[in-house]
Amino acid sequence: MPFYLYKQSPRPDGSVRYTQQRQITLAGSSTGLIYPFVLAYARRQERFAWHAKINDLLDEAGIPPKGHAVVIDLKPKESVTLFELTDVWGYSYPEWTPIAMRMETLFLDEKPLDPDAFKQRFADARCRRRPLYEFLHLQGGTIGGSWNWGQVGTVNGALLPPEALDFFLERLQESLAEPGDTQECDAPTTPR
Protein backbone atom coordinates (compact mmCIF):
# COMPACT_ATOMS: atom_id res chain seq x y z
CA MET A 1 0.00 0.00 0.00
CA PRO A 2 2.28 2.81 -1.18
CA PHE A 3 1.66 6.49 -0.43
CA TYR A 4 2.38 9.19 -3.02
CA LEU A 5 2.73 12.95 -2.96
CA TYR A 6 0.71 14.57 -5.75
CA LYS A 7 0.70 18.14 -6.99
CA GLN A 8 -2.83 19.51 -7.34
CA SER A 9 -3.74 21.98 -10.07
CA PRO A 10 -7.18 23.51 -10.62
CA ARG A 11 -8.79 22.88 -14.02
CA PRO A 12 -11.16 25.24 -15.88
CA ASP A 13 -14.13 22.92 -15.22
CA GLY A 14 -13.65 23.25 -11.43
CA SER A 15 -12.07 19.84 -10.98
CA VAL A 16 -8.52 19.22 -9.82
CA ARG A 17 -5.69 17.61 -11.77
CA TYR A 18 -3.37 15.35 -9.77
CA THR A 19 0.22 14.91 -10.95
CA GLN A 20 2.34 12.33 -9.14
CA GLN A 21 5.53 13.81 -7.64
CA ARG A 22 7.14 11.03 -5.60
CA GLN A 23 6.51 8.20 -3.19
CA ILE A 24 6.36 9.19 0.48
CA THR A 25 5.65 7.37 3.74
CA LEU A 26 3.72 7.97 6.91
CA ALA A 27 6.03 5.64 8.86
CA GLY A 28 9.66 6.02 9.87
CA SER A 29 11.53 8.58 11.94
CA SER A 30 13.69 10.01 9.14
CA THR A 31 11.21 10.44 6.27
CA GLY A 32 7.78 9.63 7.72
CA LEU A 33 5.10 12.31 7.88
CA ILE A 34 3.74 11.36 11.32
CA TYR A 35 6.93 11.37 13.41
CA PRO A 36 7.73 15.12 13.07
CA PHE A 37 4.14 16.02 13.92
CA VAL A 38 4.05 13.93 17.12
CA LEU A 39 7.56 15.09 18.05
CA ALA A 40 6.48 18.74 17.72
CA TYR A 41 3.34 18.44 19.84
CA ALA A 42 3.64 15.52 22.28
CA ARG A 43 6.18 17.30 24.51
CA ARG A 44 7.29 13.99 26.07
CA GLN A 45 3.86 13.14 27.46
CA GLU A 46 3.51 9.46 28.26
CA ARG A 47 0.25 9.27 26.28
CA PHE A 48 -0.74 11.70 23.58
CA ALA A 49 -4.08 11.66 21.73
CA TRP A 50 -3.88 13.72 18.56
CA HIS A 51 -5.49 14.61 15.23
CA ALA A 52 -3.77 15.97 12.14
CA LYS A 53 -5.15 17.09 8.81
CA ILE A 54 -2.91 16.05 5.94
CA ASN A 55 -1.83 19.69 5.56
CA ASP A 56 -0.57 19.62 9.16
CA LEU A 57 1.51 16.50 8.50
CA LEU A 58 2.96 17.90 5.27
CA ASP A 59 3.80 21.21 6.93
CA GLU A 60 5.60 19.62 9.91
CA ALA A 61 7.57 17.42 7.48
CA GLY A 62 8.73 20.50 5.55
CA ILE A 63 6.53 19.94 2.48
CA PRO A 64 4.47 22.97 1.42
CA PRO A 65 0.87 21.81 1.96
CA LYS A 66 -0.78 24.20 -0.50
CA GLY A 67 -1.40 22.46 -3.80
CA HIS A 68 -0.33 19.02 -2.57
CA ALA A 69 -2.18 15.82 -1.65
CA VAL A 70 -1.24 12.40 -0.34
CA VAL A 71 -2.77 9.57 -2.34
CA ILE A 72 -2.79 5.91 -1.31
CA ASP A 73 -2.49 3.26 -4.01
CA LEU A 74 -4.35 0.40 -2.35
CA LYS A 75 -3.85 -2.19 -5.11
CA PRO A 76 -0.68 -1.17 -6.98
CA LYS A 77 -0.39 -4.39 -8.99
CA GLU A 78 -4.08 -5.15 -9.60
CA SER A 79 -6.19 -2.15 -10.62
CA VAL A 80 -6.51 1.58 -10.09
CA THR A 81 -7.81 1.92 -6.53
CA LEU A 82 -6.78 5.31 -5.17
CA PHE A 83 -7.73 7.15 -2.00
CA GLU A 84 -6.80 10.67 -0.92
CA LEU A 85 -5.66 10.86 2.69
CA THR A 86 -7.41 13.69 4.55
CA ASP A 87 -6.94 13.08 8.30
CA VAL A 88 -4.94 10.96 10.71
CA TRP A 89 -5.87 10.42 14.35
CA GLY A 90 -3.36 8.85 16.69
CA TYR A 91 -3.05 7.71 20.26
CA SER A 92 0.65 7.67 21.01
CA TYR A 93 1.93 5.53 23.87
CA PRO A 94 5.61 5.64 24.92
CA GLU A 95 6.79 3.11 22.28
CA TRP A 96 3.90 2.63 19.82
CA THR A 97 1.03 4.50 18.17
CA PRO A 98 -2.25 3.12 16.82
CA ILE A 99 -3.66 5.39 14.12
CA ALA A 100 -6.95 5.84 12.27
CA MET A 101 -6.81 7.28 8.77
CA ARG A 102 -9.68 9.01 7.00
CA MET A 103 -9.47 8.82 3.24
CA GLU A 104 -11.70 9.89 0.37
CA THR A 105 -12.34 7.53 -2.51
CA LEU A 106 -10.91 8.67 -5.81
CA PHE A 107 -11.13 5.45 -7.88
CA LEU A 108 -12.27 1.91 -7.06
CA ASP A 109 -11.05 -1.06 -9.11
CA GLU A 110 -10.80 0.90 -12.36
CA LYS A 111 -9.02 -0.78 -15.25
CA PRO A 112 -7.68 1.83 -17.68
CA LEU A 113 -5.57 0.64 -20.62
CA ASP A 114 -2.37 1.86 -18.95
CA PRO A 115 -2.83 1.90 -15.15
CA ASP A 116 0.68 3.22 -14.44
CA ALA A 117 0.25 6.15 -16.83
CA PHE A 118 -3.20 6.86 -15.40
CA LYS A 119 -1.77 7.02 -11.85
CA GLN A 120 0.87 9.52 -12.97
CA ARG A 121 -1.75 12.10 -13.92
CA PHE A 122 -5.52 12.13 -13.49
CA ALA A 123 -8.41 14.48 -12.71
CA ASP A 124 -11.09 14.15 -10.03
CA ALA A 125 -13.88 15.56 -12.23
CA ARG A 126 -16.35 12.74 -11.60
CA CYS A 127 -15.35 11.54 -8.16
CA ARG A 128 -17.68 12.35 -5.27
CA ARG A 129 -15.18 11.34 -2.58
CA ARG A 130 -16.87 8.79 -0.35
CA PRO A 131 -15.07 8.50 3.04
CA LEU A 132 -13.22 5.38 4.12
CA TYR A 133 -11.35 4.63 7.35
CA GLU A 134 -8.44 2.36 8.19
CA PHE A 135 -6.75 1.49 11.49
CA LEU A 136 -3.00 0.76 11.56
CA HIS A 137 -0.18 0.99 14.07
CA LEU A 138 3.36 2.33 14.20
CA GLN A 139 6.26 1.11 16.35
CA GLY A 140 7.04 4.54 17.75
CA GLY A 141 5.58 6.74 20.42
CA THR A 142 6.08 9.68 22.73
CA ILE A 143 9.37 8.39 24.17
CA GLY A 144 10.92 6.41 21.31
CA GLY A 145 10.75 3.63 18.80
CA SER A 146 11.50 3.25 15.09
CA TRP A 147 8.18 4.69 13.87
CA ASN A 148 8.04 1.88 11.30
CA TRP A 149 4.88 -0.10 10.62
CA GLY A 150 4.10 -2.92 13.04
CA GLN A 151 5.39 -6.47 12.58
CA VAL A 152 2.29 -8.15 11.11
CA GLY A 153 3.05 -6.85 7.60
CA THR A 154 4.35 -3.89 5.67
CA VAL A 155 1.23 -1.93 6.69
CA ASN A 156 -0.96 -3.69 9.20
CA GLY A 157 -3.92 -3.64 11.54
CA ALA A 158 -3.83 -2.01 14.95
CA LEU A 159 -4.47 -3.39 18.43
CA LEU A 160 -6.58 -0.83 20.26
CA PRO A 161 -6.65 -0.60 24.08
CA PRO A 162 -9.96 0.77 25.42
CA GLU A 163 -8.83 4.41 25.81
CA ALA A 164 -7.43 4.49 22.26
CA LEU A 165 -10.57 2.87 20.82
CA ASP A 166 -12.79 5.35 22.71
CA PHE A 167 -10.75 8.25 21.32
CA PHE A 168 -11.00 6.99 17.73
CA LEU A 169 -14.72 6.22 17.95
CA GLU A 170 -15.49 9.71 19.28
CA ARG A 171 -13.46 11.40 16.54
CA LEU A 172 -14.80 9.21 13.75
CA GLN A 173 -18.39 9.89 14.87
CA GLU A 174 -17.63 13.62 14.63
CA SER A 175 -16.16 13.08 11.18
CA LEU A 176 -19.18 11.09 9.97
CA ALA A 177 -21.44 13.97 10.95
CA GLU A 178 -19.68 16.25 8.45
CA PRO A 179 -21.79 17.11 5.39
CA GLY A 180 -21.19 15.28 2.11
CA ASP A 181 -19.95 11.98 3.56
CA THR A 182 -22.52 9.70 1.90
CA GLN A 183 -21.65 10.03 -1.77
CA GLU A 184 -20.44 7.36 -4.18
CA CYS A 185 -17.59 7.62 -6.66
CA ASP A 186 -18.44 7.56 -10.38
CA ALA A 187 -16.29 5.85 -12.96
CA PRO A 188 -13.39 8.08 -14.01
CA THR A 189 -12.68 9.55 -17.37
CA THR A 190 -9.16 9.74 -18.66
CA PRO A 191 -7.89 13.35 -18.39
CA ARG A 192 -6.73 15.04 -21.55
Q: Residue 18's pLDDT band (boundaries 50, 70, 90)?
A: very high
Q: Is residue 152 part of a domain?
A: yes
Q: Is residue 166 part of a domain?
A: yes
Q: Is residue 182 part of a domain?
A: no
* pLDDT at residue 14 greater than cutoff 60: yes
* pLDDT at residue 156 greater than cutoff 80: no
Q: Is residue 68 part of a domain?
A: yes
Write down the pLDDT at residue 182: 46
Domain count, the chain: 1
Mean local confidence (pLDDT), 46-55: 95
**What is the chain written as a DSSP string?**
--EEEEEEEE-TTS-EEEEEEEEE-SS-SSS-SHHHHHHHHHTT-SSEEEEEEHHHHHHHTT---TTEEEEEES-TTTSEEEEEEEEEEEEE-SS-EEEEEEEEEEEEEE--S-HHHHHHEEE-TT----EEEEEEEEEE-SS-EEEEE-TTSSS------HHHHHHHHHHHHHHHTSTTTT---PPP----
Write down the pLDDT at residue 187: 38
Q: Is residue 183 part of a domain?
A: no
Q: Is residue 184 part of a domain?
A: no
Q: Is residue 186 part of a domain?
A: no
Instruction: Calculate the dihedral angle through the C-alpha atoms of 152, 154, 158, 164, rounding to the nearest 10 degrees.
Output: 140
Domain hosting residue 54, numbered range = 3-176
* pLDDT at residue 91 greater than cutoff 70: yes
